[in-house]
Amino acid sequence: MRNFLLILVGAFTSLSVFAQQRPSGGSFAGRAGGGNMNAGHLYGKIVDSKTNKGLDAATVQLIGSKFDTTTKKMKDAILGTVITQPNGDFSLENLPVFGKFKLRATAVSYKDYEAQVGFDIKMPQGGGSGNSGGADRMSQMMNMIDKDLGNIKMEESDANLGNVTVTTSAKQFFEMGVDRKIFNVDKNIVSSGQTATEVMKQIPSVNVDIDGNVTLRNAAPQLFVDGRPTTLTLDQIPADIIDKVELITNPSAKYDASSGGGGILNIVLKKNKKTGYNGGVRAGVDSRGKINLGGDFNYREGKLNFFVSGNYNQRKSKFTTDVDRYNFPFSTTPSSYIVQNINGVNNGEFAFLRGGFDYFIDNRNTLTITGSYVHGSFNNSQPQTVDSTVNSAYWSHSDLSSLSKMDFKNVGSQLSFKHNFAKSGHDITADLNYNSSNNSNLSNVYSNTFFPSGGNKSNYTQANNGSGYNRYLTIQSDYENPLTETSKLEAGVRGAIRNFRNDNFQYYNDTFNINASSRYKYTDQVYAAYATYSFKTGKKWSYQLGLRAESSSYNGTLIDGNHNKTQDTAFKVSYPVSLFPSAFITYKLNDKTDIQINASRKINRPNFFQLLPVVNLSDPQNATVGNPGLKPEFTQSYEVSYNNNYMKGANFLASAYMRYTSNIITNYLYRGPNPLPNVKPDSITFSTSVNANNSYTYGLELTNKMTLAKIWDMTLNVNLYNSIINLDTSTYKGLTGATNQRVSWFAKINNSFKLPKGFSIQLSGDYQAKTVLPQSSGGGGGGGGRGGGMFGGSNFATAQGYVNPRYGVDIAIKKDFTWKGGNSASITLSMNDIFRTEVYSTHSESSFLVQNSIRRRDPQVLRLNFSYRFGKFDASLFKRKNNKTDQSGGMDMMGGGS
């Protein structure tokens, strides 16, 4: 593996040199075809020069030059005429974006106004640099065909004219900047017809385990949808409705401090704003006979833009687990050796519906209302066998049948308002976001135990009936003001309130088990305010300084004292105001290269299940219980990045990072009485979460995106890191070893091939070297997928343990069809884990046990998907009043942004 790592690192150097020697390709003019484009948009307000009040019924004309075929000369022609609204607003659309024009305004009792205007299209500079790289350049260029002329005073020429740039080139498969990475899902064909979990497997920097749990640079990220916190998990979001995924590895003070050390993972859903009507339909089937259906529709007319989309997905997941465990003797319980084998099948379906509208009140004010509804139902069957040897003297064989059903519903809504001031980039937003989810689950375990060496047959049944809800409300406002050409002020406030409830009733042989049942609820409140100041000194240096203040409180209640008392038992934890500073310093070496140093402080609060003091006996061999006394983790993050856009369409990014975490939350194993009555053994091993000591993580990440040939684009990512966990063994005797560390690495490669006649191929692979077992993720919103470990083969992430190496390869081929009028279609054939190598193998140990686990899930599933798009592209939609939010996925006014 060491040689393989050296080969990969060497590939970065050789491929970069090879790519720099290639010519940079065609010019902007060539791509534009040398022709004009009637896609421009000018708007503003006519006001009285003394009172600044808007003028009603003023006439605004735009005059340009037109070739006269009779005289063979250029002559003036009126390109557009409008009458101002009562507040003075005017808007001229479908204008040529090349050339100079005259803007003329007339009104009764006012002097005529005339000024020269234009879009001044310029060729975009090669790669560009700065904090956002290609993503910011694309956002800037899209904004350039739209211009706000500001407040125009009839007695003087004071129009605010900025340069604009437009490009019609297609989005890159992957765009990178020093502080942000953007993955355009519509370029990813491997995940077609699947969920967001499969999308994450294709993204550099992101690791996905067998259960769909996601880590970003080895820590759980905070999951957002459209820039807002969500109660959805990744496997509840269809891949086909995702527009792009944004990764921010070390967020500034502008963003939510609850991201812990894992950064922010923002999923931006598709929302169309094309004039008229347009949409699409899609359908697919996999090799297990499960289908997926979807469609979207958009209609825009005048001031209203309506959008709706829906998806229906069926799923059949198959998985196997093999576990062998040696339990050391404890008190009166003798040593034992257990072998567990599980063959599980999960059948289910879920539907996702989303819709809303944008209301363009006027040129500078937009109101958006969005709603979503998700409903899913899954049935899980897990037959398993357990063979036990006790004291090497006798053994038993158990056949267990575990049947469970889970149902969930999620309703989301969002109300947003944005006001743009006359100065470009000066705006204020207000948002209200509400998510509500309800879930219920019913599981039954039937066990039959035989003793071939003699003894009585033992049978028992265990049932679990659970339900709960999750309510999440966020209210926020963000303000942005470019004070000068080289400085900008941003500020905002945010309040977040979460309400949880979980009722868990467990039965043993049809008898209510009071010791393992619970009713639990809690309320979590977080209030925050932030301010950031960005400025430049000279042409080389730029800075961003920020400070965020957050205060939080947690109130939990065991209803009826967990059935043991007649009164409720309350738990309360309050955290005073904590400060979270951030600093970013960027030095621009040249137009294509920069270096950035940044630092920030984050918090990772315990999640619901880590706090829930409920014994989970869904798998009697692996009991878990929460700890309501957990404290949050605090993380200091540091990063140094080198960004080089060495040629058109290519980018090399190197980042060295380090994180220090105090009060680290880790899993802790202990022995305790068996809560199942009259069941052997008398004591069993429980897994819970505790605050241990601290941890260090440092690493080097290299990402190279390049075009190797006209038909071949490749993205290569390598992350080399070391995790050091220091544990307080004097407090927790079950934690073996004061320190656990292991140098590890993982690599991802994504190849896209564009072939003739509309064919394209995507080949992607990943490799994870041997690494320590992941520590428990907190409330940062890691977005786990399938709840692995709920039944069999749980991984005990203790002081000692590791995950063995694993790797996998996915492939997809796509055929595109296009017709006159803009309609298009595509057929995609894909298969995951084509070599059947994705095996999740772990080893864990403590002073109570030694366990090995081997798990596999859904190898070599073949999928066939079809999609059809109708409608035409209208470039005039890229307007400043809406484009900024679209391009950033709401990150400028997101839940994490205040």
Average pLDDT over residues 446-465: 80
Question: What is the structure's pLDDT at 733?
Answer: 52
Question: What is the structure's pLDDT at 493?
Answer: 97
Average pLDDT over residues 814-826: 86
Kindly tell me the burial class for residue 106, based on how many C-beta atoms sit within 10 Å of its own C-beta (0-12, 13-18, 19 or more).
Answer: middle
pLDDT in tens, 262-319: 788 888 888 765 567 788 999 999 999 999 999 999 888 878 889 999 999 999 999 9
162 has pLDDT over 60: no
pLDDT in tens, 807-817: 999 999 999 99
Question: What is the structure's pLDDT at 259?
Answer: 66
458 has pLDDT over 90: no
CB of 239 within 8 A of CB of 198? yes
128 has pLDDT over 80: no
Structure tokens at 197: 């979990």
10 has pLDDT over 70: no
111-125, 297-311, 476-490, 580-594: least confident range = 111-125
Reported as type and span, the H/E element at residue 2 is: helix 2-20
Q: At 94, is the pLDDT very low, low, confident or very high (cuts 50, 70, 90)?
A: confident
Using CA atoms of 28, 30, 31, 33 in order, give the dihedral in degrees to the nearest 10: 120
787 has pLDDT over 60: no
Percent of the chain exceeding pLDDT 70 equals: 77
577-605 core/surface letters (b: 16 or more CB in 10 A; e: else): ebebebebebebeeebbbbbebbbbbbbb
Question: What is the structure's pLDDT at 837?
Answer: 95
For residues 549 and 547, what is the distance between their CA atoms, to the nearest angstrom?
7
Reported as type and span, the H/E element at residue 176 is: strand 174-176
pLDDT in tens, 240-264: 888 888 888 888 898 888 766 678 8
Average pLDDT over residues 726-747: 69
Question: What is the structure's pLDDT at 774?
Answer: 63
End-to-end CA separation in angstroms for the chain: 44
Residue written as tokens 């055929």? 815
Question: What is the structure's pLDDT at 395?
Answer: 79
pLDDT in tens, 362-379: 888 999 999 999 999 999
Question: What is the structure's pLDDT at 144?
Answer: 67
Residue written as tokens 């125009």? 152
pLDDT in tens, 670-690: 777 777 666 666 667 788 888
Radius of gyration, alpha carbons of the chain: 30
- Could you tell me which residue, 295 or 724, shows the higher pLDDT? 295
Percent of the chain exceeding pLDDT 90 equals: 34
pLDDT in tens, 858-885: 999 999 999 998 875 444 433 433 333 3
Q: At 161, is the pLDDT very low, low, confident or very high (cuts 50, 70, 90)?
A: very low
Q: At 730, is the pLDDT very low, low, confident or very high (cuts 50, 70, 90)?
A: low
Question: What is the structure's pLDDT at 871?
Answer: 75
Q: Which of 225, 228, 231, 220 is closest to 259 using CA atoms?
A: 220
490 has pLDDT over 90: yes
887 has pLDDT over 50: no
636 has pLDDT over 80: yes
CB of 487 within 8 A of CB of 535? yes
352 has pLDDT over 60: yes
Sheet holding 73-83, edge to edge: 73-83, 59-68, 100-106, 113-118
77-86, 569-578, 752-761, 836-845: least confident range = 569-578
Instruction: Please state, rounded to an integer, the average pLDDT across all residues of the chain.
Output: 79
Question: What is the structure's pLDDT at 206?
Answer: 86
Average pLDDT over residues 780-799: 37
